[in-house]
Amino acid sequence: MKDTKLYVVIPCYNEEEVLPETSSRMGALFTRMQEEGKISPESRIVLVDDGSKDKTWQLIEELSEKDSRFRGIKLAHNAGHQNALLAGLMTVKDVCDCSVSIDADLQDDIEAIPAMVDEYDRGIDVVYGVRNCRATDTGFKRFTAEAFYKLMKVLGADVIENHADYRLMSRRALQALSEFPEINLFLRGVVRLVGFPSSQVYYARSERFAGESKYPLKKMLSFAFDGITSFSIKPIRLVWGVGFLACLIAVAAAVYSLVAWGFGKSVSGWASLMISIWFLGGVQLVSVGVIGEYIGKIYKEVKRRPRYIIEKTNV
Ligand code: UDP
Ligand code: MG
């Protein structure tokens, strides 16, 4: 009989439609794992209500009254998936032996959890859940996700392909994670920086069984953009490169117009003027935009605002 205290952390945003099913599946898995002696009876399922507008928190409260393995954290406002997850992980980091984070819709196969705990028992600190097939995602989601991982790699951020936020972390990995104070938190990237022995567990991803995605395209894009700019300064170098290129082109254009002028062939020059005005204007705007993005990040960091605010908890 092992006494691994496992805490599963589930961020929930307007998930009243999926919670009953999710809780019964998780409850059943916990019962089984306890019977098999894989986890201690003190293991918990922590549901983090990320400022939901529906009955999510009511459901969580009812659940934790009926079954003491369920616990709840209520955030005071919608802090976003990453911050909600962080709120959960930071709350459990001193009480658990290891944590597993998973989405409320159970698109990630919960049967991978026992395999993750086995890895933990072998002394692994971080176990990444990796999808081995994306057949259930729409073609569009698959394409954007692949492009995202490729882009992240090109830009130098170390991310694991097809790994979302389904992972096991040991207590010491969580404690190391708590040393990262950044506001623009991109967990997938930061966990790689934490280091410690890690391994991967493969699973098939299924469809959301109820409710709809809380990640519309707009949120997905801003998530990808945040991920890139909080991990890489390559966009700044790119701007530098583009500026340099623009200078070279300008020199070539100057040489060309001087020569043309020397041969008495200079025309009114309207076209080249218009092109260079637009081109330079464009380059400048893009540059200012990218630099602005970083200044925005610095601005957020220096304010040191709390990343989430817990209103109630019974963990
Ligand atoms: N989520 C959250 N806060 C948000 C948006 C989403 O806590 O502002 C949670 C949501 O309840 C779910 C997880 O993040 O547990 C992933 O969301 P979803 O399944 O909708 O994303 P998708 O799988 O479509 O990428
Ligand atoms: Mg989902």
Residue with tokens 């307007």: 14
Q: Is the CB of 88 under 6 A from ligand 1?
A: no
The DSSP code for 12 is E
Enter the tokens of residue 238: 């790119």
Angle, helices 139-154 vs 217-231, to 10°: value is 10
49 bridge partner residues:
12, 74
213 Cβ closer than 6 Å to some ligand 1 atom: yes
User: Quick check: is 295 in a domain?
Assistant: no
Instruction: Name the residue with the closest Cα to ligand 1, atom 13.
Output: 103
In a domain, 12, yes or no: yes
What is the Cα–Cα distance from 160 to 179, expressed in whole angstroms?
22
In a domain? residue 283: no
Q: What is the CATH number of the domain that holds 198?
A: 3.90.550.10
In a domain, 265, yes or no: no
- Is the CB–ligand 1 distance for residue 63 below 6 Å? no
- Ligand 2 centroid to residue 54 C-alpha, Å: 18
Q: Is the pLDDT of residue 116 over 80?
A: yes
| Structural domain includes residue 266 | no
Residue that wins the pLDDT comparison between 259 and 123: 123
Q: What is the pLDDT of residue 225?
A: 83
Does the CA dihedral 129-134-140-143 come out positive or negative? positive
The pLDDT of 225-234, averaged and rounded, is 78
pLDDT band at 34 (very low <50, low <70, confident <90, very high): very high
Residue nearest ligand 1's atom 7 by CA:
81
pLDDT for the residue 270: 64
In this prediction, residue 271 carries a pLDDT of 65
Task: Report the predicted TM-score, pTM, of the whole model to 2 decimal places.
Answer: 0.81
The CA dihedral of 304, 306, 307, 309, to the nearest 10 degrees, is -170
Each residue's pLDDT tens digit, 124-153:
999 999 988 777 777 887 888 888 888 888
Give the structural domain span for 121: 6-232+306-313
With respect to residue 268, please indicate whether it lies within any of the assigned structural domains.
Answer: no
C-alpha atoms less than 13 angstroms from C-alpha of 110 in its C-beta half-sphere? 21
Residue nearest to atom 17 of ligand 1 (CA): 214
The answer to whether the Cα torsion of 130, 136, 140, 143 is positive or negative is: positive
Sheet holding 98-101, edge to edge: 198-204, 126-133, 163-170, 98-101, 6-12, 44-49, 70-75, 310-313
> Is residue 75 lining ligand 1, measured as CB closer than 6 Å?
no
**Long-range contacts of 65-68, Cβ-Cβ distance < 8 Å, separation of 24 or more:** 67/23, 67/27
Which ligand has the shortest distance to the CA of 51?
1
Q: Which residue has the higher pLDDT, 141 or 75?
A: 75
| Category of 10 on φ-ψ map: left (φ > 0), alpha (ψ -120 to 50) or beta | beta
Q: Is 48 helix (H, G, I), strand (E, B) or coil?
A: strand
Token pair 């909080």: residue = 230
235 Cβ closer than 6 Å to some ligand 1 atom: no
pLDDT in tens, 281-292: 778 888 888 888
Task: Please list, in sequence order, all residues whose beta carbon lies within 8 angstroms of the beta carbon of residue 173, skipping any fewer than 6 positions away.
Answer: 125, 126, 191, 194, 196
Is 300 part of any domain? no
* Number of structural domains in the chain: 1
Shortest-distance atom of ligand 1 to CA 48? 7
Q: What is the pLDDT of residue 1?
A: 57
Task: Between 86 and 249, name the one with better pLDDT.
Answer: 86
User: What totals of helices (H) and strands (E) does the chain contain, helices first?
Assistant: 10, 8
Q: What is the mean pLDDT of residues 16-22?
A: 94
Residue 86 — very low, low, confident or very high, per pLDDT cuts 50/70/90? very high
For 145-203, the pLDDT digits (tens) are: 888 888 888 877 788 888 889 999 999 999 999 988 887 788 888 898 888 899 999 99
Flag whether pLDDT at 303 surpasses 60.
Answer: yes
How remote is the CA of residue 50 from the centroid of ligand 1, in Å?
Answer: 10
Percent of the chain with pLDDT over 90: 47
User: Is the residue at 282 inside a domain?
Assistant: no
Which residues have CB under 8 Å from 200's CB, separation 6+?
127, 128, 129, 130, 160, 163
Residue 294 pLDDT: 85
| CA of 167 relative to ligand 2 center, distance in Å | 15
* Average pLDDT across the chain, whole number: 87
- Alpha helices (H) in 39-80, listed in sequence order: 56-66
Least confident of 12-16, 65-69, 81-85, 243-247: 243-247
Note the pLDDT of residue 123: 94
